[in-house]
Structure 1
Amino acid sequence: MTYKIGVFTYTNNDVDWAGSPSDRRSISGYCVLVGGYLVSWKSIEQSVVARSSVEAEYRAMAAATCELVWIKQLLRELKFGETEIDCYFVRKKILSGDIVTKFVKSSDQLANIFTKSLTSPRINYICDNLGTYDLKREDVYRVVKALTVTGDGLSADAKSFTRFLVREFERNGVNLTLSKKEELQRLTTNIDELSMQYIRNLDDDCSFLLFTDVELDGLPPEFLKSLERYGDGNRKIILRSHQVSPVLELCKVGSTRRAVAISYGRRCEANVTILEQLIQLRHKLARLLGFANYADYATDDRMAKSSSKVGASLIDD
């Protein structure tokens, strides 16, 4: 969304419908940039459970719009450039021209960092674009690297932080040659594109199963009423988490739970090929950055530090 005011104000708004595994509340997130700088952000569970993704999106848009209106009023009082509720509030602002909605590809959605579980490269990409830090500047890397060698006057916390920064710089390939940096960029782009295609395939999947009321024994009447009926009277279970989870948790018929679990796990056969490509690309990325495999790369910045330690702990248990 964009406000038409003197100083360029821009917000990324996103929502993960029924994203909370504990109570199925949706997770809203937004970030606001003024003049290209991040000034406001939020990631929070919505106050009530949204019964549709449209409802969740409107609530998320309303929250982001409220924040933008507040910032706009603040800027107006400072000599730069108004209030309502939920979808009517958003609608009024759009019709008045204060807000312009614009499609943003999932791969370019900066607010994903507030609502989604992302890979480390994706987090770094978003942080770079939010201006929180830039892990591609060689000049900064050299200064920080030197501090790890000559920083005798640094506190223990400062030394730990400089080591963390050096590791993050090197995990992003700032110490590689130009040709390897270009290869790293190609790999990262391909991984991001395939990852988003994987997610889109899941989002677009319309697979479902049909069951009789007897086969759905144990499910609450309210849930059964919400299911679409086919001409033969069978009820339609869409293979999405909001319908699959109640069946797996509450249905008393084992054959029904088994059929739903297997079909849910086999969705999107096209994603098998994408997953195989992602495994190969991630292995190449890890090798390029000096790791034996992607598992070592993924655990390098975590407590375990290596995949071998993870394996050893699993064997000990």
Structure 2
Amino acid sequence: MPDGIEIYFSASLAPGQRETVEQSIASAAERTRAEVDAARERAAEEDKLHDAITARLAKLIRADPGVAEAPEGVGVRPFKAKDRLRLRGPPGGGRDHVIPASPTDSSVEQRLPPYDFAWRWHHNGGAPPFSQSGDQRGRLGVDARAGGGVAGGASRFVHAHIGVGCIVRTDRPIAVELFAPRSSRHSFAIWARGIGASATSEGGLETTFMKGGQVLMAGTFPLWRRRVSGLSENESVRTGFTSVFPGGMGGRIDPGEYTFNVGIWAFADYASGIGSAGVQSLVESSIIEMRIHRRD
């Protein structure tokens, strides 16, 4: 398995099924890492002019002893993280009852916790999350922190994913529709102070349907994206648990075994510039059930 990936299996899965799961998670991670690398490269290209101006200002500031003393005290004390993982699931086990009506000519396969497997991974070019939790019960949480401006912040960017999945089998060609009702919440806090300082926070939900290492269907549902920069900027938001039911996926599949994965992700990145910056990105989600609608 590639570095940074962990998978936990149900004892009921056969060796061949475990290999199928490993292929699917490794492929999904590789695909997402490539997307993140491309996005960070685009952002770096866009920031070239900004960085050149910042470097010039930094040189001028450091050349003046009187002015140079001012940035030294900027952001020395990290801000306290605004939130933490609760790890208890939604209050009262809040369920989302908005389940699609099943066509009369279809069958519905309902999967309840514990699921067949649980997985987690982080971008191996960055740092692991500050904390994370998730197992086959489907209660997922990730707290990503970056920058010296937040307590526990990593010195590199953090891009972390965690989720659960199940094996889907069919012995004939069929049409499938896939749904995963969940209850989720998120919070973030971002802070940047100083010349050239910036902070970026993102997070959301995700789902994939795969055969081995091939992605057949996929969906990413961002919950937020925020970026601050400047001499002194900050923002924070916290939500409670709410029923979140992203639109399902569907298509025709051939006989075989497939993996249906659902999860969450969080991203935190920063630049200190002449000053300090910090980011906390937190997502929690309780995967209530996974449904596979089958139709000939």
Asked whether the two chains share a fold, i.e. TM above 0.5, the reply is no
User: More strand by proportion, 1 or 2?
Assistant: 2
User: More helix by proportion, 1 or 2?
Assistant: 1
Q: The TM-score by the shorter chain falls in which range?
A: under 0.3
Bigger Rg, which one: 1
TM-score by length of 1: 0.20
